[in-house]
Chain A
C-alpha cells in the first residue's frame, strides 16, 4: 500500500468525534482487500476480521476450540469545532469537540458544515495595529475567537445552525527526511499502521484470528473502543495511538524519539504480553523506545482492558510532533516499523499464549 497516499486521503476526510459515520463506510473499503469480513457496528466502529491461516494443533483435535483472537485498535475520529452561537454581526462563536487548544486557532481557515453545504471560514485575529501594548502576552480564550464567513448576518442565520460541525484545514505536506505533516495524523496514521500490518499478514501464516478495529469517539473518552471491545470480545488488545515525539523545551521523561515505535509500560499494560512484544521486536530487529504511563494511558487501552471481564492489553505509541494541531508531524519509517511490529506480534500468538499469563 502507498502509505503517503492513504494518509493524504484519510486525513482530508470528514470525521469529527461523533460524526464518523461516512468515514467509517470509506475505511471499510480500505480494509476489504486484506480481510475476510469487514462491517460497521452500532457505534460506527469499523470491524475488519482476518481469519487464521493455519489451525492450532488443539483445534485440529476437537475442532471446537476457538483460535486466540487479537484485536488491534486505532481511532478514526478527529478533534474539531462546533458552532455554539451566531452573533448579531453574522460571525460565529465556537467550542472544541475533543481536546482543542484555542491558541492554535487564530488566523486558521476552516470549513463550516451546514445542512445545505460546506462554507469556507476564517478565524479572526485582531490586527497588531489595534492591539493594546500587552495584548500579545495574553493567552487566547474561546470567547475571543469567531469565524468570519464573509456573508451578512441574515444569510448566515438562514444557513448555519447551532451545533454545526467545523473542521480545520490542514492538508498533508511532505517535509525533509521522510517526514510528513498534516492535520489528523492523530490517529489516522495508526490506521495506516493497521493497514500496513494487514497487508504484511497476507504473506505471513498466523494461528490467531486478527481483528482490526477503527474506533470512534476516542477523543471524548474511548467510547468506540469500549463498545467495540464489548462486541468483539478479544483475548488480547493491541492499541495503536500517537504519542509525544521530542520537542525543544520538553519536560524530562515526557517524550520519545521520533524514529521508532514506542511500546508503553505501566499498570495498565499486561506485563507478560509486553515482554512478548519486546521479544518479538528483538527477534525481528525492530528498534523500540519504551515509554512509561504510570496511571491511565489516555488512549483506547484504558477502555479496552476493562471491557466485559477484562482484556489483557499492550499499547504501542507512534511518535508524533505537535499533537492536536493542524501540522502534526510523523516519520513515515516509524509507521512502517509499527506495522512490521504489529504483524510480527500477531503472527507470534499461538495456542497456549496465555499459559502462565497471571501466575
Chain B
C-alpha cells in the first residue's frame, strides 16, 4: 500500500486533466478485471463480474485541486483562478508544477491597506523575465498543482498534496487486487472532475447502471488543535459516512458497512460532515436512483499541500471493503 501510494501521489492530475493518472491506474488494474474503458469525461471504468446478485459501483476520484492560468502579466507573472476548492490561506509560498514539468512559486502580491486576500491576489512566478518568455513555457488555460513530494511521518503516517484522493484510488486498487472468491459484481470507477462538482461520477453512474454506489474519499479529521469539528480522528479506523452536504447514506448501507467492519475485526468510526460531499451524491441521483454510502479515510489538512493519512486506517478500510463485497 505504501509504495502504491507513493507512486500515485506524484502523478499530475487536476480536474479535467486526469489522463496521466488514468493511464497509470489502468496499467495496474487491467489484469485484475474483465474490462476497462474511458468515457467522454475521462473516467476510468473497470468491470469485474462476481457470483453475487448485486452490482456495486465504487467511485474513487483521480483528480485533485489546482490553479488555472487565466492571464500573463507583462512582467511574466501568471494570474490564476481555482480549479476545485483552493484555500487562499494555504496558497502562499508553495511550490507548484505544470503538466509539462515547468515549476514555479505560488505567492501573494503585497496587499493594499484594507484589501483582503483572494484568488485574484495570488500569482505564480515561473522565473520568466517577461510575458513572452512565460508564454514560451506555459499556455493560458494550463493548470498548476501543489508540488511537494510525498513523505513519511511517525510510524504509520504519510503526507502529500494528493492524499485527497489518491489514497482512495490506492484503496480501490487494493480491493481489486484482493477480491474474495465469492463477491458481488463490481464496477470500479476512477472518476474525473469530482473536485469541481462530482461531475465524472454523474455520467459514469448513468452508463454503469449499478444497484448501489459506494464512494471512497478522504474526510476531514477533526483532531487537530482548536478545531471544533465533529469527532472523526486519524488512526481510529476508516469512517462510515452518515451524512454530508451532498448525500445521506442509506441506513441499510451504513448498517452493512458497520457489520462488515465488525466481521473483519477492524475499528471504524461514524461520520457526519457539515460541509463537503463525495461522488456518492452523484451516484444516488442517477436515473431512477440507488442507495449509496461513503467509506472515508480520515485526513488532516485536507486541501492543503500537506495532507496526512494513516496507513493503518487505509489497511483497515481495505479489510472492511473486502468483507463488504463478499457475496
Residues of A within 8 A of B (CB): 17-19, 21, 41-43, 45, 82-85, 95, 97, 143, 161-163, 217, 220, 223-224, 226-228, 230-231
Contact check, A19 vs B251: say whether CB atoms are below 8 A apart.
Answer: yes
Neighbour of A82 across the interface among B231, B272, B287, B291, CB < 8 A = B272
Measured in the bound complex, the distance between the Cα atoms of B284 and A224 in whole Å is 10
B274 in the interface (beta carbon within 8 A): yes
Looking at chain B's contact residues, the main secondary structure is loop
Give the docked Cα–Cα distance between A143 and B229 (Å).
11
In the complex, what's the smallest C-beta–C-beta distance from A305 to chain B, in angstroms?
15
Verify B270–A163 contact, CB threshold 8 A.
yes
Q: Judging by beta carbons under 8 Å apart, are A163 and B288 in contact?
A: no
Q: Number of B residues contacting the other chain (C-beta, 8 Å)? A: 24
Contacting A223 at CB < 8 Å: which of B270, B272, B285?
B285
CA distance A140 to B300 in the complex (A): 30
Residues of A within 8 Å of B269, CB to CB, are 162
Judge whether B288 and A41 touch: CB under 8 Å: yes
Q: Would A42 and B289 be within 8 Å (CB), given that A95-B272, A162-B242, A220-B248 are in contact?
A: yes
Q: How far is the CB of B148 from the nearest CB of chain A, in Å?
A: 33
In angstroms, Cα B242 to Cα A19, docked, is: 11
Which residues of B line the A interface, CB within 8 A?
228, 230-231, 242-243, 248-252, 254, 269-272, 274, 284-291
B289 touches A163 (CB 8 A): no
Return the contact of B271 from the options A21, A162, A231 (Cβ within 8 A): A162
Among A21, A163, A220, chain B packs the most CB atoms within 10 A around the CB of: A163
Closest CB pairs A-B (n = 3): A227-B289, A18-B248, A163-B242
Q: A43 to B25: give the CA distance in the assembly, Å.
A: 33
A231 near B288: Cβ-Cβ < 8 Å? yes
Chain B residues with CB under 8 Å of A41's CB are 288-289
In the complex, which residues of chain A have a beta carbon less than 8 angstroms from the beta carbon of B228? 143
User: Given the known A-B contacts A82-B242, A223-B284, are A162 and B250 also in contact in the complex, defined by CB atoms under 8 Å?
Assistant: no
Rounded to whole angstroms, the CA-CA distance of A217 and B245 in the bound complex is 12
Taking a contact as CB atoms under 8 Å apart, the answer to whether B287 and A230 are in contact is yes
Within the assembled complex, what's the spacing in Å between the Cα atoms of A85 and B269? Answer: 12
Give the complex CA separation of A224 and B289 in angstroms: 8
Q: Check B285–A21 contact: CB distance below 8 A.
A: no
Smallest beta-carbon distance B115→chain A, Å: 30
Report the number of A-B residue pairs with Cβ-Cβ less than 8 Å.
72
Asked whether A162 and B288 contact (CB < 8 A) given A82-B242, A95-B272, the answer is no
Residues of A within 8 A of B284 (CB): 43, 223, 227
B290 touches A42 (CB 8 A): yes
User: B272 is contacted by which of A17, A163, A226, A228 (Cβ under 8 Å)?
Assistant: A163
> Complex: how many Å from CA A44 to CA B230?
29
Across the interface, A42 reaches (CB within 8 A) one of B230, B274, B291, namely B291
Q: B286's closest neighbor in chain A, by CB?
A: A227
Bound-complex Cα distance A22 to B242 (A): 18
A45 to B291 alpha-carbon distance, docked (Å) = 12
Contacts of A84 in B (CB 8 A): 230-231, 272, 274
Closest residue of chain B to A21 (Cβ to Cβ) is: B251
Q: Establish whether residues B288 and A17, one from each chain, have CB atoms under 8 Å apart when the complex forms.
A: no
Contact of B243 with A97 in the complex, beta carbons under 8 Å: yes
B-side contacts of A18, CB under 8 Å:
243, 248-251
Subset of 13 A-B contacts with CB under 8 Å: A18-B250, A43-B288, A43-B289, A82-B243, A161-B270, A162-B231, A162-B272, A226-B289, A227-B285, A227-B286, A227-B287, A230-B287, A230-B288
CB within 8 Å for A227 and B288 given contacts A18-B250, A85-B230: yes
Nearest-Cβ distance from residue B29 to partner chain A, whole angstroms: 28
In the assembly, what is the distance between CA of A217 and CA of B291, in Å? Answer: 12
Q: Chain A contacts of B270 at CB under 8 A?
A: 161-163
Q: How far is the CA of A223 from the CA of B274 in the complex (A)?
A: 19
Q: How far is the CA of A42 from the CA of B243 in the complex (A)?
A: 19
Q: CA A41 – CA B289 in complex, angstroms? A: 9
- Docked Cα-Cα span, A105 to B286, in Å, equals 35
Chain B contacts for A45, CB-based, 8 A: 289
Pick the contact of B248: A17, A42, A230 (CB < 8 A): A17
Tell me the complex Cα distance, A63–B226, Å: 70
Task: A21 to B254: give the CA distance in the assembly, Å.
Answer: 14
CB-nearest residue of chain B relative to A217? B248
Residues of A within 8 Å of B242, CB to CB, are: 82, 162-163
- Complex interface: chain B residues within 8 A of A21 (CB): 251-252
Instruction: Report the minimum CB–CB distance from B189 to chain A (whole Å).
Output: 19
